[in-house]
Structure 1
Amino acid sequence: MSDAGSRRVRAARVVVPRVARRLLLNELRAAASLGRWVLRGKHGVRPGDLAAAYTGPQTAMMYGLLFVSLIETVGLAFLIPWPTVHRVVLVLDLYGVLLVLALHAACVTRPHVVRPDGSLRIRYGALFDLSVPPDAVASVRVDRRYPEGRLVSLSDEGVLDLIVGSQTSVTLELNRPLPFTRPLGARGEARTIRFHADDPRALVGALRQPA
């Protein structure tokens, strides 16, 4: 990169807060997933890998939210009499609908991945991505839980919950702490990771028996 380009990047980082940059990046990645979803493609899945879906618990909720958003868009189109306000609200509503669809598309096209060498990639759409090397895995088991909290929750003991539809189904014990990045850029370290897979037994079996 040229000196001028480097200066522009540094200036952008100063002007645009880190959280805003992360939000924009997440939205761009999610939007790119729409095309991959239409083409039935998977991001970061190679031949020989096991792709483990995790969208089961949230699919109905996502489509329900999408339906409500569409109803709201149509309803406001008839209720708002001022043309300028109507156009602004319509754009915002359509953007909201697209964002919900893109978030779900990102989750579908970015599954968890177990590689033949026993490494694991844990993801949630474009918001979370953690690679676990095989030598960091102490144990893994099917373990269905229903924790409360946000998408990414970290306890004082280093237990990381990646919650989908208010549940997790796999518990991964680590033999050393692993750093991870939260959706908005904050950092943390996990000693235990609990996450959801629609078929947890298949994921656990693949992780226990690397090729």
Structure 2
Amino acid sequence: MRGMPMRASARVAFVLVRHEVLLLTSVLRWLGRRAHGVGDDRAFGYARGQGAVMFGFGFVCAIETATMSVLLRGFPLLHGFFLVVDLYTILIVAGLHAASVTRPHVLTATTLRLRRFATVDLRVPLTGIASVHRELRTTHEKREGELDLVVGSQTTIALELAEPVEYLTFFGRRRAVRLVRFHADEPDALVAELRSVGGPVTATP
């Protein structure tokens, strides 16, 4: 029994480290202007909806770094410790935004791939989409069978599925959803593309 909490703690640590590595890798992709998993397919960004918020977080972190440097200038060890922590925090904030920029939604000939940061990656078969419509929401409640990929406190598209689709949560649990709300910088263009694929997709206004 003692081994179970240790294994659970090790798994949590692994997930957190893996997530931070993905964020740091995203910064490199951002600097190199290399999108992840797009290729020749159509990409739809969603990062503009959170740009101001992420800039605000980064600015606050930068102010905190400068303030702590002044307050702790007489304590070199503490100053060095907090400087590393603050700079790493700024890097993680940059990584979150970079992950959003470099991991856009992707529309292929058969699949709509919905993503957010480096945590959510949901592949929806186009044949499994029952309806799609523009829907601006700024408040969201967690409900069974629904997934809200909120960006900048809002979602702009609602996707109803004919059958449940599974995705992995942050800690690797499988969850089935039949309704997905998500944000796109160009929601009208994405909705139009989905409606143009034909098949079972219903264009709900």
Q: TM-score range by the shorter chain?
A: 0.7 to 0.9
The match for 2:143 among 141, 152, 155 is 155
SS at match of 2:170: coil
Query: Alpha-carbon deviation of 1:35?
Result: 1.3
TM-score when normalising by structure 1: 0.85
Aligned to 2:165: 178
TM-score when normalising by structure 2: 0.88
Q: Which amino acid in structure 2 is aligned with residue 83 of structure 1? A: P
Q: Which amino acid in structure 1 is aligned with residue 143 of structure 2? A: S
Aligned to 2:177: 190
Which ranges of structure 1 fall in alignment gaps of 5 or more residues?
1-12
Which ranges of structure 2 fall in alignment gaps of 5 or more residues?
1-5, 199-205
The reply to whether residue 40 of structure 1 matches residue 33 of structure 2 is: yes
Instruction: Give distance in 1, aligned partners of 2:151 and 2:38.
Output: 21
Within 5 Å, which residues of 2 pair with 1:1-211? Answer: 14=7, 16-47=9-40, 49-80=41-72, 81-117=74-110, 119-148=111-140, 154-156=142-144, 158-210=145-197
SS at match of 1:17: helix
Percent identity between matched residues is 43
Instruction: Give distance in 2, aligned partners of 1:82 and 1:148.
Output: 46
Cα separation, partners in 2 of 1:148 and 1:173, compared to 1, 3 Å: closer
Question: How far does the alpha carbon of each residue in 1:77-115 deviate from its partner, in whole angstroms, 9 at most, with x for none?
Answer: 110121111111111001100000011001000000111
Question: How far does the alpha carbon of each residue in 1:140-169 deviate from its partner, in whole angstroms, 9 at most, with x for none?
Answer: 1111111246xxxx403x121111111100
Query: Alpha-carbon deviation of 1:16?
Result: 4.7
Q: How many residues of Structure 1 are paired with residues of Structure 2 in the alignment?
A: 192
SS at match of 2:136: strand
Is the contact made by 2:137 and 2:155 (CA closer than 8 Å) also made in structure 1?
Answer: yes
Q: Which amino acid in structure 1 is aligned with residue 10 of structure 2? A: P
